Chains A and B, each alone.
Chain A
């Protein structure tokens, strides 16, 4: 059963459907939460809260606006950034050892998840090719929840330069991901 069908069932209060979504995506949510807050207990709370939000708000999910996993990760990221702002802690990186060896070829599971993890490898590849200042600015904003002004202060860079880096970084990512997608479709 695909994600959209499961979300529709969750909206009708089907606990088994939520359980299935949890099995598919809790690891990704946990990874994102750990990357943002850098602390396991907090990351576990964020996982719990994120899937509880799915339970409460599944009825408001609109497929036309994007995939479920994008919505879920957006919920998790906001929850994690809120926690980060509350604690006023902004870790430079993760404070825990992570198993970064998971490869697409090792996965069994729904096609959507395999696709997503394949996309993950592509995204990391694309990010690694961005100029360092652009990649850093994007990461500080996305994972650190820093405003452009805060990034400017933190990196001792003029605000205008930070804005340009974020804009160019996103646009380059878009172009590169499109190119990769086109290559795969050939």
Chain B
């Protein structure tokens, strides 16, 4: 028999197993005492400031630790959240807000008007809707510690919609000292007044984020609806663990090592459906959509006929089949401001017509030079879009140079205004959370401010900008809807972008996870682990 220092190997082995079991016993017992939800989000949290970046993971982090003055409910109504009550003057120029009692930051300091004003001002420097609101704002002043006033230069129809916008950038309220950080610099603390507290000692950027229940949080009494209502925390601890390999994440979920995956790829849905321990929750019915974006600065897409040729050469069904491939989770939707929202319309929507597309391409004077299409190979949800476009464009006579790259290279390159042959580009695709696309101000695809304030691709059109401005000024929702339809019609006519279809992506969770709320972003209040 093999011996180590005279002791039989079997005895030594038994000793080690016993010692190991005893060592792990204490930890297991401690873990069982608490309700811990282990979560795999769509990405690792690296940038923690939800104002400096529009990244959705930073927004989701924001909803954990910060709170908002207003929020959007499932009927798209804007309701008070940190605000107890508010009033609007008869001339629609002065909004007065009073904060709820008992609002406290995680460092124990009370939330004051000064914190709210500084937070709105910082957000107003970054966010598109925030910038517009600030353009209309004459002054933002504190009345007392719990009351502040927003005075407009002229009536503006999107004051509450801006303060209660549900997606990036969300106007989260921070302590004044944090909100005084320049808007292009990351805040250096993680102190909010939200339902969870950030555990700084356990933060590993890109790997793990830990949140604990905030015992001082005073939830509203109304039932939760989207981002509105009582944020009642039923968990002791939420851990966001970044598992980059979805196969591993799904295996870990089925095995019970994690409790929740925010966005499992659609390919894994059949596997998870087979497990009795896993449930799929279609939490974000508004879903996501993708877009094809062309660069207006250079030929051939500086010519509207070439852009129209592209639009008539493609169709949403092909994109969705390649991208999602599951009819339960995909939807044809011509509405630029999203199907299922108050601004839904099919105004100006195109129908595929290859013959007409070829004619338009000929009329555009396209000279056959290769068009540079960027394809991000590392983003499974975006990667299939470029090959679909390439095939459709080649079918009508375009010469397509599809260049594969990682997403971050694409992100850097799309900001370049250089000609395509000198490091620029002609076409790229991306996806959006639909909560960011619901109106002409939030939807960057219809921003037509060109090189001065426009989004990548830089479409420029005075008429669209005039309509967007009218939308912002309009106070009547019915009239706003009509204006949105006009914006969409014009945007399709000029092809500011082509929406390639709408889809949803369910949360996968263990069957014992209850109370997952629907909404445009995943939230962790109301969730219980039984």
Is chain B found bound to chain A in the same assembly? Answer: no
Residues of B within 8 A of A (CB): none
Residues of A within 8 A of B (CB): none
